[in-house]
Structure 1
Amino acid sequence: MTEHGRRRRVLRALSTVLIVAGCLILVDAGVTVAWQEPLTAFTTGRTQAGLQQDLEDLRRRAPTSAEAQALSDLAAEPSRIAFLSRSLRQRARAGQAVARIRIPRIDLDRVVVQGVDPGSLRKGPGFYDSTPLPGVPGTTAIAGHRTTYGAPFRRIDELRRGDRIVVELPYGTFTYTMERQRIVKPSEVSVLDTVGYDQLVLSACHPLFSSAERIVVFARLTGAVGRGSGRGRPLAGPTLSDRVQRPSSALKGAATTGR
């Protein structure tokens, strides 16, 4: 083969490689726009599988001796739930599986971890450290990505008033009813304030592929049932409290990287 022929062969092979690479980039971009970023979705999917087992192990774990002693003095189910909520919140580590969130409207079923730092949100939706876990009166909040790391909250803009949101923890199952949504600046911390009833706040970056704003969903607690050690003497309706808890951290700290 002549020198000229070898050069043409090399150029043809290089052109083929570049064309294939270009096509892969276009496919990746198309999948990201239509659904979610595929590479981080794969890694988060594997992580979620492990978290499901961690959550099951947490559910089966017996109360410590100190917890058992305290629970022996608590007969009412709301009191038992509140005690176990505070106990789990105190010992939960960043990135640890603590709950499961289910939203039928958008076919969401994910394990929720503790924390909204970048590492925790790569695993799945995360509870804000500055708000209580469900079961303690006030506002609890969960952040999640919309385009990367499995994009758990990609479709929360589709939620409508009256839609059901269920959060399951080892000590109780909490049902919330969606009331409204807002688009806010990352610094608008008032969305995490406690109101006159127990509520759940979901937040994510907005619009898609941007962290310029936040989309915030507000849902009211409409049902709470004890599970495991949280079972006790039931009271009518969810427990409310007049205590005011004002979170210290802002939306700015959650779901800002990778969107």
Structure 2
Amino acid sequence: MRRILRILSVSLITAGIVILLDAGITLAWQEPISAFYGSIRQNQAESQLQDIKKDFLSEPAVVDLPPAKSIDARAEELADIFEKTLRNGKPFGRIRIPSIDADYVVIQGTDEGDLQKGPGHYPTTALPGQGKTIGIAGHRTTYGAPFNQIDKIEVGDEITLEMPYATFTYKVTKTDIVDPSDVGIVDNVGRERLVLTACHPLYSAAERYTVFADLDEITLFSGGSGKFPPP
């Protein structure tokens, strides 16, 4: 029995050393290299996003829209039009989280190649303005680590999503740590909300750190803004 315990103890110590070495290698080698690569891809995405915005606002389907009944109705119309132009791996919009000094171009898609460019929009979730759940995932380590400080976001913090058609401001309502298999976190709940996810803890994919934020304001690039829910 003592021999078994000694073997188990040695195994656990060895496993711990391996984990520490892996983390050390990631910090010393993979982090700076992947961060440099991620920075290049972000710069490319930034340029592409500017072109996408300019082209979208000049689309006949956008220019010829009749007057809308409300700000949110127009936002939904524009979101529906923009959704048809989205392609995986291409820019989706921009996310800003002032409380953690995060400012990144969001990419459409959450495959590994997409997340190497920046935070990724879950393709199965809605777009801002569609009145449903918008899901965005991001790395906490490597490739610029856009969501490295996600666990520092607090209730009441503002998060903005700047889309080619409007800017959407959300206010954080809660944070949570969930199992990776809990796909229900991005279910639609009858109102527009933003859900951010990232692996947790650092250097582990054992859990997901999750931030929930409800829509607070819409500002259209064509003019007009509104607070939500309306008074």
After the TM superposition, which of the residue ranges 155-164 and 57-66 deviates more from structure 2? Answer: 57-66
2:213 to 212, 219, 237: 219
> Structure 2 vs 1, CA of residues 239 and 88 (structure 1 numbering), >3 Å: closer, same or farther?
farther
Structure 2-normalised TM-score? 0.82
1:237 aligns with 2:227: yes
Instruction: Give the equivalent residue in structure 2 for 1:120.
Output: 114
The question of whether the paired residues in 2 share the 8 Å contact of 1:95 and 1:120 is answered with yes
Aligned pair partner of 1:205 in 190, 196, 199: 199
Tell me how far apart the structure 2 counterparts of residues 209 and 111 of structure 1 sit (CA, whole Å).
23
Shift of the alpha carbon at 1:75? 5.3
Partner of 2:136: 142
Return closer, same or farther for 1:74/1:184 CA change in 2, 3 Å cut-off. same
SS at match of 1:41: helix
Render the CA deviation track for 1:80-119: whole Å, top value 9, x for unaligned: 2111112222221111112111111111010111111111
Cα separation, partners in 2 of 1:224 and 1:75, compared to 1, 3 Å: same
Q: Secondary structure at the match of 1:201?
A: strand
Give the TM-score, by structure 1 length: 0.74
Partner residue in 1 for 2:73: 79
Tell me how many residue pairs correspond in the alignment. 207
Which is bigger in relative contact order (C-alpha 8 A, separation at least 6)? 1
Kindly, what percent of the aligned residue pairs are identical? 43
Q: Which runs of 5+ in 1 are unaligned?
A: 1-25, 241-259
Residue 63 to residue 74, structure 1, CA distance change in 2 (3 Å): farther
Change (3 A) 1:163 1:73: closer
How far 1:203 moved relative to its partner? 0.2
Could you say which residue in structure 1 is the equivalent of 2:148? 154
Secondary structure of the equivalent of 1:37?
helix
Relative to structure 1, the CA distance from residue 146 to residue 140 in structure 2 (aligned partners, 3 Å threshold; closer, same or farther) is: same
Pair 1:41-2:31 in alignment:
no
2:24 to 25, 29, 35: 29
Residue in 2 that maps onto 1:100:
94
Aligned-residue offset at 1:73: 5.0
**Residue 63 of structure 1: how far off its partner (Å):** 3.6
SS of equivalent residue, structure 2 residue 117:
coil
